[in-house]
Structure 1
């Protein structure tokens, strides 16, 4: 049995001894599964271990697609992999979490229209590395993920980044900047998934810790570390999965960048980046007539939220935690009132985000501490709450009851306590 690094595991997963032991067992089980699947000894030193975190959005709701500013962070929930290089050109993937098995020849990486899911992503990532001039050849792998799917913590980007760190470590001598990983992940999603994504998710998973991202140059975003530890303030970040709902949200998600860009077009621009509140105000009657009130409100949200991301970074760097909580509250209010991504028009009977935000606001008001906001895309899905540690257990029970979740249920617990880990995608040594 290989010895796993306790100090590193404490940094990745916290200082709870039971949790560290659970994580070590998780890695050991993954290695055992790898050994069984590929018929190699479990103590083979050429089996290498990797971890890639999920991510959380701290501030900057729906600003990246108009080249704005965001605060993101890597979290302790991660995808882990056991990997061994081979002597051929075949990449073999076995995913324990999603029960997937497939192989890709690194000499055959053109897009296949009949291919989807993670297989298409991996093929696109390999092609992205090759196009950038990097070496890629064969390896065997097993993966297991605790990054919650469809919960706004970027399970797909986490998987993309673990593939990237594996290719860098195995074949390129750890020479590739992690910002390049994010660009390659974006390339794969854009070209092999037809998903018009930016680099927010990938960058937050790849870099590690809390980061301020400026997307003024979207192909090379400016990334700045924001050194801060919520645990030292005795606060936890909580996520609540409010439920999916039944509406198809594709049109709602695309309406946000489309409406923002319709306003930008009136200024001869392709995005809102560079516009100020005074610019919008100066043309307000004309913009309301041509673009509609919601488009104007969403554009004002973009301007204010991008600026707010700067203010959040400053508050954290100067340890002004009270100001940080106020800014998070302001961000949540802006998403609800201005951006309007809390509920789906035409579905008044289904408003899970609004219900959970309302309940959380009542809880925070009763305790006189904390802040909450929608997390990620909105309309359905996840909210975030920043709460003192002393209230976490009570809040968890409160929201479990509100969402009718009981111990022993076959459904996932909808309430998650997160911590921000200091490392992005890494090899476990």
Structure 2
């Protein structure tokens, strides 16, 4: 459809049921956001005769902290904060994406190699995804897109994975006959982030964004991870999920993030393995005396975290499946303590006086007084914590945290069923 037809159809309510199936917000709020994105497209690109609208959600890590890159187990969930894109398919050999608040990214599709000066940019992600699709034989060409995101950068909800999955979902629809499964889009997105963007991330973020809902994921076979959807409604059990953004600076943390998989792989290599999931837990513990001197003590502690947290995921998944909220919350707290003590990603060793996550966890535990649960959220070192609060005290908690971390520090989060999707 063209741009005017799209606007008319949204205003008339033709897509109300579709939008209500995705979002928990008031339908008029959702429609206003979509119309604003359309207006942004018109201002930037003027016309469009092959218009579609896409969405890709952020994600929250529920269980398993830094276990995915060692092919362990995780639980994750797609959240009701997303990136939406108004897209027009073109015949030009260029992809143009205007991201509201960030500006225009253009990628001419004449070079599919890694471009060093593009690393850590959106252009690198787009080029990497296109390169992988070209390798698979898909005739990828251009499009124009205007995007709006409420997955704020630095929120710990993985705006980067949402963007990658969005681009993959768009290209899958426009040029791949929608043949790619959600997990394939996730794998292509991770490849682009690892190789072209230059961040050594695991596969959890992209999988959660692409698949949607609560999912437990076993990455033992990385090419065919085992994905099991879990039906669980926190609110029915009296709890609200809140993400607290402490506002700490994420810049210059790449080395901190990279040190975790590197040190875990150092341990694995001592057993002639590539990843820790290939090492028997009992064999690892038996050999700790021999490991000292070969690797750092921190590497040993981080490996201990991996073995404990990847096994903990199984208990968390079972608790959710059996609707056992108390056991689930107990394991969330245990995971958080393991990340603090063993994984050591609560603050950066390069800036030890900046401890906003540690402060947020301390204040949260004092507020909860044994109720609910909290833990570091995502990559760590700076950024966000995850909190499971009794609904009855959520408003008071948010007021409490705003006094310390600012007016917009707290996000009430719900799990959405859909992953990356063509909406219209």
Residue in 2 that maps onto 1:25? 32
- After the TM superposition, which residues 189-268 of structure 1 pair with which residues of structure 2 at under 5 Å, given as runs? 189-245=193-249, 248-268=252-272
Q: Are 2:18 and 1:8 equivalent residues in the alignment? A: yes
Residue in 2 that maps onto 1:379? 381
Secondary structure in 1 matching 2:58: strand
Cα RMSD, aligned residues only:
2.0
Residue in 2 that maps onto 1:130? 134
Q: Distance in 2 between matches of 1:186 and 1:96?
A: 24
Q: CA deviation at 1:343?
A: 2.4
* 1:91 maps to which of 84, 92, 95: 95
Secondary structure in 2 matching 1:291: coil
Q: Distance in 2 between matches of 1:236 and 1:132?
A: 42
Deviations 1:129-182 (A, max 9, x none): 111122312222111111110222111111111111111112233221111111
- After the TM superposition, which residues 90-109 of structure 1 pair with which residues of structure 2 at under 5 Å, given as runs? 90-98=94-102, 100-109=103-112
Q: Distance in 2 between matches of 1:37 and 1:254?
A: 37
Q: Are 2:124 and 1:114 equivalent residues in the alignment? A: no
Deviations 1:36-72 (A, max 9, x none): 333337xx6x321111101110011011121111111
Number of matched residues? 413
* 2:423 maps to which of 411, 423, 428: 428
* 1:35 maps to which of 42, 46, 63: 42
Secondary structure in 1 matching 2:153: coil
Q: CA deviation at 1:247?
A: 8.3
TM-aligned CA distance change 1:124 to 1:389, over 3 Å: same
Q: Distance in 2 between matches of 1:359 and 1:141?
A: 42
TM-aligned CA distance change 1:90 to 1:285, over 3 Å: closer
Structure 2: gaps (5+ residues):
1-7
Q: Distance in 1 between matches of 2:85 and 2:293?
A: 54
Q: Distance in 2 between matches of 1:198 and 1:275?
A: 18
Q: Distance in 1 between matches of 2:87 and 2:249?
A: 38
Residue in 2 that maps onto 1:182? 186
8 A contact 1:216–1:273 mirrored in 2: yes
TM-aligned CA distance change 1:91 to 1:381, over 3 Å: same
Q: Distance in 1 between matches of 2:380 and 2:108?
A: 38
Q: Are 2:295 and 1:285 equivalent residues in the alignment? A: no
Q: Are 2:421 and 1:418 equivalent residues in the alignment? A: no
Deviations 1:344-382 (A, max 9, x none): 3364432111111011111111xx421000001112111
Deviations 1:310-335 (A, max 9, x none): 11111111111111111101101111
| TM-score, normalised with respect to structure 1 | 0.91
Q: CA deviation at 1:299?
A: 1.0
8 A contact 2:199–2:254 mirrored in 1: no
Secondary structure in 1 matching 2:276: coil
Q: CA deviation at 1:387?
A: 0.9
8 A contact 1:245–1:352 mirrored in 2: no
Q: Distance in 2 between matches of 1:108 and 1:247?
A: 29
Residue in 2 that maps onto 1:410? none
Q: Distance in 2 between matches of 1:38 and 1:250?
A: 35
Q: CA deviation at 1:269?
A: 1.6
Q: Distance in 2 between matches of 1:199 and 1:240?
A: 23
Q: Are 2:386 and 1:400 equivalent residues in the alignment? A: no
8 A contact 2:242–2:413 mirrored in 1: yes
Q: Which sits farther off after the overlay, 288-297 or 413-422?
A: 288-297
Q: Distance in 1 between matches of 2:111 and 2:249?
A: 40
8 A contact 1:239–1:418 mirrored in 2: yes
Q: Distance in 2 between matches of 1:288 and 1:79?
A: 46
